[in-house]
Structure 1
Amino acid sequence: MRRLFEGAWTDGELDVVDAVVADTFVFTRGGEVQTGGAELYKDLVRTTREMFPDMEFRVDDVVVGEDGDAVTVRWTMTGTHEGEYNGVEPTGQTIEMDGLELNTFEDGRLVETCTYPHWVGFLEDVGVFPLTDSRNR
């Protein structure tokens, strides 16, 4: 997981995806399930990096299940909002979004990710949803 966060997401090195993600990879976010294997994962990285070209991911916590095939990651992403994102036009704002991910591995390869990003924090950072900081930092 650290290789994916540091190599693919932060540095944009998509060859890391080929080494770690299975061709059967499935991605779930917000109840939407997508299939497409390693190519889907690469598309997710590319699309997100277009919206936040200077993004960096920090892995805050990792919990590995007893069998080693279940990996939960709590992460924080920072970056400048320079591309349309979920209907929100670019604002040029620096954002910080945290999230939680449930990952499943088989034979050492990532086969499934269910991600739960903190959308309210993002919307607060770009001024779309002005609230008191919901992250309680």
Structure 2
Amino acid sequence: MPAAGAPLNTATLHRFHSAMNSGDPETVAKAIDEFVAPDVHFHAPVPMGATGAEALKRVWEVLLRAFPDIHVAVEETITEGDKVVSRNTVTGTHRGEYQGLPPTGKTVTYNEIFIFRFTDGRITEIRGIVDVLAQLRQLGALPS
């Protein structure tokens, strides 16, 4: 039997992804404040000097500068207990500096999987795997 908050957690994650797809840094920051606990445990490579929700905001600042048209397409979600798994396809056009690379104008498509743990309707833990290798190959930073 699903946990009582499972459908609500899935709906919250979909609202969170919708805000991420807005392309607006202010909307993204507000969504992080609304849906993510300030002390979220973020288990993914993040900018040094930041933790919790602030680290997540910095990640999105970098992504939106580099890929202003970034779009996260949720391919499937799986909900169990207090966790929601999201398998996504990400697309974007490289229009700003990213990982030391000047803008190339190239479009990238890569996959990611994230596990979100919820407590009282907010995201309190994030574990993610992003196919950065595919991303960097498409940008020409690594050989195909």
Q: Secondary structure at the match of 2:90?
A: strand
TM-score w.r.t. structure 2 length? 0.78
Identify, as 1 or 2, the structure richer in helix.
2
1:47 matched to 2:62? The reply is: yes
CA offsets, 1:55-110, max 9 Å, x none? 11101111111x2x111111111111122222333211111111111111111110
Number of aligned pairs?
A: 128
User: 2:119 is matched with which residue: 78, 100, 106?
Assistant: 106
Task: Please report the RMSD computed on the Cα atoms of aligned residues, expressed in angstroms.
Answer: 2.2
Equivalents in 2 of 1:53, 1:3: separation in Å?
19
- What are structure 1's unaligned runs of at least 5 residues? 132-137
The aligned amino acid for 1:129 is: L
Give identity over the alignment, percent.
29
User: 1:4 is matched with which residue: 2, 11, 16?
Assistant: 16
Equivalents in 2 of 1:34, 1:76: separation in Å?
28
- What are structure 2's unaligned runs of at least 5 residues? 1-12
Determine the structure 2 residue equivalent to 1:24. 39
Identify, as 1 or 2, the structure richer in strand.
1
Equivalents in 2 of 1:89, 1:6: separation in Å?
28
* Cα separation, partners in 2 of 1:31 and 1:37, compared to 1, 3 Å: closer
* Cα separation, partners in 2 of 1:53 and 1:72, compared to 1, 3 Å: same
